[in-house]
Structures are given as structure tokens and as C-alpha cells.
Structure 1
Amino acid sequence: MSDSIKRRHFMAALGSLVAGASLAPPPARAATAPPRIPLSRAPGQLASVYDVLVIGSGYGGAVMAARLAPGRSLAVLERGKEWSPDAFASGLVDTLAQFRTASSPLGLFDYRAGGSIDVLSGNGVGGTSLINSSVVLAPDRDIFGRWPQAIRDAYASGAMDGYEARVRTMLGADTVTEADALRKSWFHLSTTAARKRQGALVQPRALPIAVNLRRYQGQPNAQGVFQAACTHCGDCVTGCRVGAKNSLDVNYLPLARSGGAQIVARIEIDWIERLADNRWRVHYLARPDSGPAVAGSVVAASVILAAGSLGSTQILLRSQARGLALSPALGTRFSTNGDLLGLAYNTRVQTNVMGFGAVPAPFGLKRVGPTITAMADYRAAGTPVAQRYLIQDAAIPSALVDALRLAMPLAAPGGSDFPALQRIARDGAKRGTDGALNHSMVYLGIGHDSASGKVELDAHGNARVLWPGIMKEPFGQRMRAEMALHAQAFGGRYADSPRSSPLFGGAMTTVHPLGGCPMADRVEDGVVDADGRVFNPHGAPQAVYPGLRVMDGAIAPASLGANPLLTIAALAERAADRYRL
């Protein structure tokens, strides 16, 4: 491998980790993870026939499994492995080693680099909940113009409010307060208030997050899983080593298991086929603890695809190539959810954004906090949907701190005054709280793109995203300009994610992939209906295949303009209530 290719691969990984930092909640001082009873069983324990198979253990799959398991033979098939808190990486080398590749298919980070878009998702029991920011945020109620009428009606009537409340309770959503004394939260809310005084239509807001901030102190939670309280280390993108994050492996998945579900890890689904009796045969590759991977199949009356936007779309594209008739909309309406990563570098104010993981807080740093805690909300009433967006604060995971303190002077060179240059020099000499990086702010922007991406299979049969015009979409320019104004409030310099630079490929990175199997009212316009049932193009415009559903971010036909986990889980709660074989 040439040096240039190695550099591009490293920067792609680096870009994904910084993006992922905008995705998760945290730990802090030295802590021992509480004991966990394994949820999953080995591939060899998979039966040959089930009533229901759920493919994937992210938000859609975990909710469906928890609600449908009682009274049915149900299995959750997860391609990744089960992770205990102490198995998550604690440094850059370990973190890079946990990237999923052809030679390491059980890696935690599934990072798919593309020509214009890179996609990051999680790989393990709990899916992306293992590495996200756990922001539990509802979308605006008037953004569903491209969604099926039944979904629009469910939001307009308030029916979805009940499903969202159910999800918030299950995920234990909580909010950081002023008493937590987080400098990065104060910084972001302060610059947002300054922009509001300058006339911007923005509101500073604290964010609800699925993190055990204070409720359980090494005690069993509502599902009997022991949890420690958040230690505010800012290190969740590499997995919560403390065991404080309310990821799906501590709530919905234990509930599914207690209801009788079998959770089988290390099974990657290849394709599905419809049998003559209307049941489904699911073809898979199982990876036992030792020995080579083994191909096999399992039959079920009902299959629920919940493998994520790329995963579910990939399975259906492969199945279509083998003869399963599907909508012409398969692979369309891919959205990045308007994701944009930026950074206010070397401001005059110490921000405490440098994560330190599950070790004692170093160099006088006391609290970083959950990775995302606050936002600047640009969704004012009357603003056109396409122009609405959020700018959320984020932390830098400890695995990236040293790399970024040395790299950022190249990405955002210069300083406006002698103190700024001094801070840069301090970062070059050592890691400390008084350097330029710890006087910076990481931003995750979320807005509305045109959902014009297309998912197709590459030469190896793996999903990839094509969207040549993504870098020119208006949401990116709009958020970059506003992030720069936030940076200037305390004398900082705005910088884009390194991955978006032409030097390193010029690609956007999304941590909230949506679409590929979009919802619609007719087969001509979408892959699934309002309940996630897959359309049969050989029938009437609304005919569906008995027993085949998609229930994850792939069904979103457009961006949400908010972190999507609440919407995905609430739609799954609704679909479970309406489930009929």
C-alpha cells in the first residue's frame, strides 16, 4: 500500500472518529464497569425455523424485538459481536484496530468511505447506539411532506407523541443542567445567545440525552442491568467504558430477551428469498468464536430488516439481484440528514472538550461531560424547512486528542494575537488544558439536504453511496457560515472536518444515514408503506409482501433535521402496535 493511500485511509478514519464524537454520551475518572450478563448466544445455537426474524439490533430492530417477542419464537440476528464496557478501545491504536474491515468483520466501527460521502455506523449488539451521542430529540411536526399520509396524520393528531414518550421512558432520557458546570455547554450556549442578540433567529437549548447522568449508581436499572453513573469523560464515540450510556443493550434488548427473544450475534445476512408457502429463507454467514465463517440459512414466517440504512438496502439490493421483485425506488432518497462537522479553533476561552476516558482526569481537567449536551436551534417558526438546522456542541474523544492538537495548526493556521500563538505552541510541546485545542469547540450541524443520494452495490456486492453534488448543497454553506460566526464570538478560527478538504478526498461524513428503502403510499414512489411493509410491484399499487418489513433509518424518505434515533424508535413502536403477519 502506498504512503498516499495509507494517509487517505488514516484521515478517513480520523474524520469518522471526529464525526462520531458528535454522536455520543460519556464517562470520567477511573471506574470499574459493573458486571453484565451476556445478552447474546453463539451462531451455533440458531434454530432452523422461527415465527419472526429481526435482522439487526439497532433502534428499529431492538424496539420491534422487545414488543413482538412475547408469545412468538423470535430471533434477533446481529452481524457484530456483543461488547462489554471494558472491551471498548482506550487509545488511538486500539480504536483504529476496532474498525470493521474485510479481515476484521466484527470491528465496532463500520466506516464506509466513498467518493463524495463517508458513512459511519456501529457494529455490535446494540448497533449504532454503542457509539452515538444518544440525543433524544423530536423533529419538527411539519417536515413530513414527503412521507406517507398515515405518518403525516399520526404526527398531526398527536398519536406519535405517545410513542415518543414511550421511547424516552425506555431510554431514560435526561438533561445536563447548570449544576453540572460543563464549560463546553456554557461556551456553546453563550455564543448562541450572542448570535441571538445580533439578530439571528436562534434559541439556545439544553438537549435530552440517553445517558445515566445520576439515576443509577452501580445499581440495576429497570431491566436489571447494572449501570454506573456518567463520569463526564467525553469519551463515548469509542464506546462507554464506564457503563453509563443508555445504549440498547441495557434497555430494549434485555426486555426482548426477557420476553423470550433469542439474540444471536456474529451472523451477517447476505440475502433473502421468498418461498412458495410465503415464508422467507434468510441466507447468512456465521462467524463462530473460532474457525472459518460458515454459510447457512434460516426460515421464518416474518422477517424485519433493521440493519441500518446501508445494511437493509444492501440486503434488498442483493435479494433483488437474485430475483426478488422490488420497487424501482430501492436505493433512492438517501440522506445525510444534513450532517456537517466543524470546529471553532483556538478561542480565548477554555472549553474543556478533550476527553480523557476511564482514567483519572489529567492535567487539572475535571469535567468534559456527555459528548453532546446543548444546541443552537435555528428552527424558528415560519422558517422554510430547507433552511432550518441545528448546531450542537461536541467533545473530542481521548483517542483523538493528541492527533488533533498537532494537526489543527495545519488545518487552521495562524493566530490573531500573541496569546493565540502561545496556545498553539503549548499544544506542540505537550497535552494540557492551556493549549489551543482545549480552547476550541467541536460542532455537529444537522439540517435538511435534498435526499438525492443513491445507494447501489459495488463490484463486491457491498452498498455504496453516490451523490456527486453533495458538497454543493445549500445546507452546508449555510451552516459553515453560522459556525464561523460562533467561532468568532470568542476570537476563534473556523475549520471544516479534515475529511472534507480536497487534500484528503473532499468527502462529507454522515453519522445519521437515512433512506435507501423510502416510505411512500405507492410502490412507484417507495419501497415500503407507512408500517414498513415491503411493496410487491407485481400486485396493486399498495400490495405488500406478507411477512416482510423494513424498520430502521432506511425507511425515511427525507432528512429529519434532528438526531434521528427518537423518530426511528417511535416509528418502530407504532409499527409493533400495528403488527399483523
Structure 2
Amino acid sequence: MTRLSLPRAALKQRYDVIVVGSGYGGGVTASRLARAGKRVAVIERGREIETGQFPQKFSDLRHEFRVTGKNFRSGSEQAIYDVRLGQDMHVLVACGLGGGSLVNAGVSLVPDRRVFQDDAWPGQIAQDGTLEEGYRRAEAWLRPAADPRAAEMTKYKVLEEAARGLKAEPVAPRIAVSFEDTVNAAGIAQAACTRCGDCCAGCNVGAKNTVAQTYLPDAVRHGAEVFTGLKADTVRKGQDGLWQVALRTVAADAGDAPSPAIEAPVVVLAAGTLGSTEILLRSREAGLALSDRIGHRFSANGDIIAFGYGAKSPVNAVGVGHPAKVEGLEIGASVSGQLEFRDSETLANELNVQEGALPSAFASVLPVMFVPNGRLLGAMQSLISGVYKGPFANLQTFFAVSHDSASGRFALEDDTLALTWDNAKDEPVYARLDAVLSKLVAESGGQYVKNPLAGTVMGHQPATAHPLGGCGMGRDRTQGVVDHKCRVFNGAAGAEDTAVHDGLYVIDGAVIPRSLGVNPLLTITALSERAMLHFARDHGLRYTTAPATVAA
């Protein structure tokens, strides 16, 4: 596949639509509006990473972390992993052309219908039928599927054995991965998954159905222009009625520096929960009238990443990469099996527990990660024998999602996004997850390790890789930051509570006003498709979502 991004010197001052961010929301928006004939610019802070160029060893991976704390920051602004260390909670997001799709597990689930019946949402979300169409379109383009050989993977079998003690049975969840050679909806040829286990460090096979493999190349095919290494700081409306996006260069480039601002009648913020919220908070300080709810209702989606150390039998949950570091060893996709704990009476009690695989680039550092928890002997043994044969061959990794109270709040402190959430670690969801995971690990003969880095700079705070909210939907500006169409409410004195800023949108995970209880990628994509459906109706546009027919 040819590169998608252009040299910065090609950036024009004016477009019909400016899309800030290139994850699921940005990708959908760029594709659909480019298909509708709009001149679209996609602005991405991160860099473009081609298939085969994702890190495969720790010497490369260690440069791919941007870590920001209250009084420090380290690493490149274009590192793949963006880690925000907070006093109450840590957040991990991705940075790159394709956003979180590059390094997530690809698990694609539809939430329980009770999620959308919550009063946190505008009524139209559950009532007008367009969300269902959004899911249909999202599934047609991301093509999630269960691994037909999931039950053959060792980590699945270990989960299956342990689950019997909880009277549960694993299922193979749908994931955004192609398990056979194919040509996708964007006309891009994709190779079949090799089950190398490296999904969460970037797919070097090209089998993962990322935004960079689907919506973005489709957008480019229809004329959208994509630029990397640029960060949007603020959005403001000019005297001519056009929206102006102030840009900052975050990476060296042979081309000319961009204009201080580019402009368009329509701006879509799709920089992710953290990015879009930060841009709007900074824009409010520069004079943009917004809802007082900006920054509120942050949810960690009931997330936890935890481990089981010392299982009685091999688990094989460390990736081997592509090309494979261990010949003949299949790990499976990052997630092959899932346990579903349902509660028909209390939605908040529902859990999804997934067995996971750590990418191969983490292999050499795994023993060091577990030293702080007193496992020096096993760690040293693995340093000698390697993680594929020593104690770390028996390491279990778990990803779990559930529900929390969405009580986090963002604000700007010294021009930096800061998250506060009093007593976040005491959210009931974490006790429920600890109980289930502890029992699962015990059934496997191991020891539950909630956080191998506890006692280090990570502390004991919970962490999430599925941040939601901050620009949540609401019926009006007293309850949300955007309406059900993702239009930003106008917070000016004297404006009606349902008045919006014409041409200003947020379309990404930031608009989700509560936890989903499932991995959010499919819902973010569906809400984005829904927003574009409404955008087309409101602006008299027409576009098709039919697949392309020519392989790139």
C-alpha cells in the first residue's frame, strides 16, 4: 500500500472540512465527506507507520513511549504510546496515523442495549434508529470476525480450564482482524493473520483492520489530504465566519513549516478523548463559548489490565512477532477468548474478561517488570532461559472491561490536560474485577498480579486504555458538550440551551457520556457513521458506503 500522508509543504490554507485526528472518528469522517465531494484535510499529531515498520524488539519499543506526569514529561510527541500519569488514574492512548486502531486488541463488541437507554444520552440515540445503521456500516468496513481457530490456542485452553471453576465458558469474541487473504472495503489487499500475538504493538502482517487500512486509504482515494506531525492547539471562528485551527509542528520535516492556522467552514475534532477535550478547553480559554460540562463525565470504561504469574501449565501469551522469533509457535491474536459475566438486573455488575497476549517487543523486559513484586528468582531464570521457555511461558495476561461511575473530570493546569477523580481506586468495579480475576488465576495455579509496576512511578492508581467522555453528548448544553449529532453546543450568554456552533463537531470517544462495558472501538465507529449520516442529511449531501473494487 502506498503512503497516505503528504509533505507539509502541500498543506493549503483553506479546505471545506478540517478533520483533527485520524482514529475511528476521524477516519470515518474523512472517508464519508471525501466521498461526498468535500475538500478534506486530515491533521494528525503522530507519524505514519507502514506495515512491517512497527517495533519488534525492545531496543525499538523503548523509544515509543511518551510519558507525561504532573511535573515531568519524557519521550517524543510522536511516540506510539502516549502515557499520562495522574494522581488519581493513569491513561494510555495511542499516537499515529490511524489512532488507537494501530495498537488496540481489535475487540469489536456491541454494548448491552441498556447502555443506550441511560439518561446520560440524548433520547435520539436510542430512538431514531440511525445508531443501528451506524453499527451496520461500521461492521461492513471493519469486518470483525471471531478467529475460527481460537479454541486451538494455548492461552484460550488455559482460560477455558480455569473458567470451569467459575462455571463459565469462554467464547471467541469478534475482532477487527482478517483471518484469510482478502481485499477489504477500501480496495486494499490484506494478508491473513499469522496469529503472532503482536496486535497491541502494531500489525506487521497487515491483517489487522485498522483505520489506516480501511477508512483512511478510502478517504485519500476520494481526494482527502492527510498530514502528519502537526498538532492542533485551538479552534476559533474568524470574522469571515470560517473556523480557524491553530497548528503547531511536532516533528522535523524537510518541507516548509505550516501556516499558523488553516481554515474551513467545518471543523471536526477527532483527536480522541484526551486530544479533543484538551483542544476545546484551550479554545475556551481563548474565548470560545462552550457548555460548562466541558471536561466532565470522564469514564475509564471499567478497565483493568492484570496478570497471573506462575500458572501450573504453559500459557504462551507472549507474542512471537512477524517474522516469528520462535518458529512454529502460534500465540493467536491479542485476544482469542473472552468470558462474559451477565446480570439481567444490574447493568453495572456485568463484566467481560479477555485473555490477552503481550507483544513480542516486550519479551526481553518482562522479567525486569516483575522484579519489583518480589519475583526476582523467576525473573532471573527467565533472563537466562528466555520468556518462551522459562516461567514467563506460564504468564497470563488479562484485559477486562465493565462499568464505572464516569466521575472523572478534565481541566487545564499550566496549559496541560489534567485528570482528577476523587477515590477512583475505590470504584466498585475494581473490587468486582479483582475477585473474578483472582479466582481465575488461582484455578490456573498462579498468583494474581494486579500491577507488576506497583511501587514504581506507576504507584497504585488504576489505569485505562479506553478513556471515554470529556465532551459528552447531552440533550442540551446544561447536560452535555455536544448534541446527538456531535455538534458542539454554543455556551454564549443569551443563546438557547440547544443552540450549537454551526460547523464545529466532536466525533470520537470523547462524546460518549458513560461507560460502555465493552471495548469501545465498534461503538465509536458506529457513532461516527451515524454522525456522518446526519451531517449528509443536514447539508443535502449524498455519498455511497459501497466497497471499492480495485486492490491497491
Q: Does TM-score exceed 0.5, indicating one fold?
A: yes
**CA distance in 1 between partners of 2:358 and 2:110 (Å):** 25
Q: How far is 1:288 from its partner? A: 4.8
The reply to whether residue 230 of structure 1 matches residue 193 of structure 2 is: yes
In the alignment, is the contact (CA less than 8 A) between 1:42 and 1:266 conserved in 2?
A: no
**Matched residue type, 1:123:** C
**Matched residue type, 2:413:** D
Aligned to 1:125, the other structure's residue is in SS state coil
> Which sections of structure 2, spanning at least 5 residues, go unmatched?
67-72, 540-552
Aligned to 1:494, the other structure's residue is in SS state strand
In the alignment, is the contact (CA less than 8 A) between 1:529 and 1:535 conserved in 2?
A: yes
The reply to whether residue 345 of structure 1 matches residue 309 of structure 2 is: yes
- What is the TM-score with the length of structure 1 in the denominator? 0.86
**CA distance in 2 between partners of 1:487 and 1:365 (Å):** 27
**CA distance in 1 between partners of 2:149 and 2:39 (Å):** 47
In the alignment, is the contact (CA less than 8 A) between 1:350 and 1:433 conserved in 2?
A: no
In the alignment, is the contact (CA less than 8 A) between 1:213 and 1:229 conserved in 2?
A: yes
In the alignment, is the contact (CA less than 8 A) between 2:8 and 2:256 conserved in 1?
A: no
User: Aligned match of 1:380 in 336, 343, 346?
Assistant: 343
User: Aligned match of 2:25 in 55, 60, 82?
Assistant: 60
The reply to whether residue 248 of structure 1 matches residue 220 of structure 2 is: no
| RMSD of aligned Cα (Å) | 2.1
In the alignment, is the contact (CA less than 8 A) between 2:486 and 2:505 conserved in 1?
A: yes
Aligned to 2:274, the other structure's residue is in SS state helix
**CA distance in 2 between partners of 1:141 and 1:516 (Å):** 22
In the alignment, is the contact (CA less than 8 A) between 2:8 and 2:253 conserved in 1?
A: no
User: Aligned match of 1:506 in 460, 465, 470?
Assistant: 460
Taking only the aligned residue pairs, the percentage that are identical comes to 36
- Equivalences for residues 316-335 of structure 1 within 5 A: 316-335=280-299
In the alignment, is the contact (CA less than 8 A) between 2:63 and 2:75 conserved in 1?
A: no
In the alignment, is the contact (CA less than 8 A) between 1:455 and 1:464 conserved in 2?
A: yes
**Matched residue type, 1:542:** T
Q: How far is 1:413 from its partner? A: 4.6
Q: How far is 1:361 from its partner? A: 4.0
**CA distance in 2 between partners of 1:408 and 1:104 (Å):** 26
Q: How far is 1:193 from its partner? A: 3.5
Cross-structure match for 1:447: 402
**Matched residue type, 1:373:** S
User: Aligned match of 1:431 in 380, 386, 410?
Assistant: 386
- What is the TM-score with the length of structure 2 in the denominator? 0.90
Q: How far is 1:501 from its partner? A: 4.6
Q: How far is 1:267 from its partner? A: 1.5
- Equivalences for residues 51-90 of structure 1 within 5 A: 51-69=16-34, 70-90=36-56
- Equivalences for residues 483-522 of structure 1 within 5 A: 483-501=437-455, 504-522=458-476
In the alignment, is the contact (CA less than 8 A) between 2:296 and 2:407 conserved in 1?
A: yes
The reply to whether residue 147 of structure 1 matches residue 147 of structure 2 is: no
**CA distance in 1 between partners of 2:194 and 2:368 (Å):** 27
Q: Deviations over 1:499-542 (max 9, x none)?
A: 45577422222110101101100101110001100001221111
**CA distance in 1 between partners of 2:513 and 2:231 (Å):** 26
Q: How far is 1:170 from its partner? A: 0.5
Aligned to 2:279, the other structure's residue is in SS state helix
**CA distance in 1 between partners of 2:313 and 2:212 (Å):** 38
The alignment of Structure 1 onto Structure 2 pairs a total of residues equal to: 525
Q: How far is 1:72 from its partner? A: 1.2
In the alignment, is the contact (CA less than 8 A) between 2:343 and 2:349 conserved in 1?
A: no
**CA distance in 2 between partners of 1:300 and 1:207 (Å):** 41
Q: How far is 1:342 from its partner? A: 1.1
- Equivalences for residues 396-411 of structure 1 within 5 A: 396-408=358-370, 410-411=372-373
- Equivalences for residues 12-27 of structure 1 within 5 A: none
Q: How far is 1:180 from its partner? A: 6.4
Aligned to 1:208, the other structure's residue is in SS state coil
Aligned to 2:15, the other structure's residue is in SS state strand
- Equivalences for residues 388-399 of structure 1 within 5 A: 388-399=350-361
**CA distance in 1 between partners of 2:230 and 2:513 (Å):** 28
Aligned to 2:232, the other structure's residue is in SS state strand
**Matched residue type, 2:238:** L
- Equivalences for residues 96-107 of structure 1 within 5 A: 96-100=62-66, 104-107=76-79
**Matched residue type, 2:139:** R
Q: How far is 1:412 from its partner? A: 6.2
In the alignment, is the contact (CA less than 8 A) between 1:352 and 1:365 conserved in 2?
A: no
User: Aligned match of 1:130 in 85, 99, 102?
Assistant: 102
The reply to whether residue 457 of structure 1 matches residue 457 of structure 2 is: no
**CA distance in 1 between partners of 2:368 and 2:75 (Å):** 30
In the alignment, is the contact (CA less than 8 A) between 2:477 and 2:498 conserved in 1?
A: yes
The reply to whether residue 42 of structure 1 matches residue 16 of structure 2 is: no
Q: How far is 1:365 from its partner? A: 5.7
**CA distance in 1 between partners of 2:315 and 2:278 (Å):** 41
In the alignment, is the contact (CA less than 8 A) between 2:425 and 2:461 conserved in 1?
A: yes
**CA distance in 2 between partners of 1:280 and 1:102 (Å):** 33
Cross-structure match for 1:108: 80
Aligned to 1:304, the other structure's residue is in SS state strand
> Which sections of structure 1, spanning at least 5 residues, go unmatched?
1-35, 197-201, 415-420
**Matched residue type, 1:208:** R
In the alignment, is the contact (CA less than 8 A) between 2:310 and 2:394 conserved in 1?
A: yes
In the alignment, is the contact (CA less than 8 A) between 1:272 and 1:319 conserved in 2?
A: yes
**Matched residue type, 2:313:** V
Closer/same/farther in 2, CA of residues 251 and 116 from structure 1, 3 Å limit: same
Closer/same/farther in 2, CA of residues 474 and 353 from structure 1, 3 Å limit: same
User: Aligned match of 2:153 in 182, 196, 219?
Assistant: 182
Cross-structure match for 1:578: 534
In the alignment, is the contact (CA less than 8 A) between 1:173 and 1:211 conserved in 2?
A: yes
Q: Deviations over 1:172-216 (max 9, x none)?
A: 2121134762111122233224311xxxxx552211011122133
Closer/same/farther in 2, CA of residues 526 and 432 from structure 1, 3 Å limit: closer
Cross-structure match for 1:13: none
In the alignment, is the contact (CA less than 8 A) between 1:405 and 1:436 conserved in 2?
A: no
**CA distance in 2 between partners of 1:425 and 1:249 (Å):** 39
In the alignment, is the contact (CA less than 8 A) between 2:4 and 2:220 conserved in 1?
A: yes
Closer/same/farther in 2, CA of residues 503 and 523 from structure 1, 3 Å limit: closer
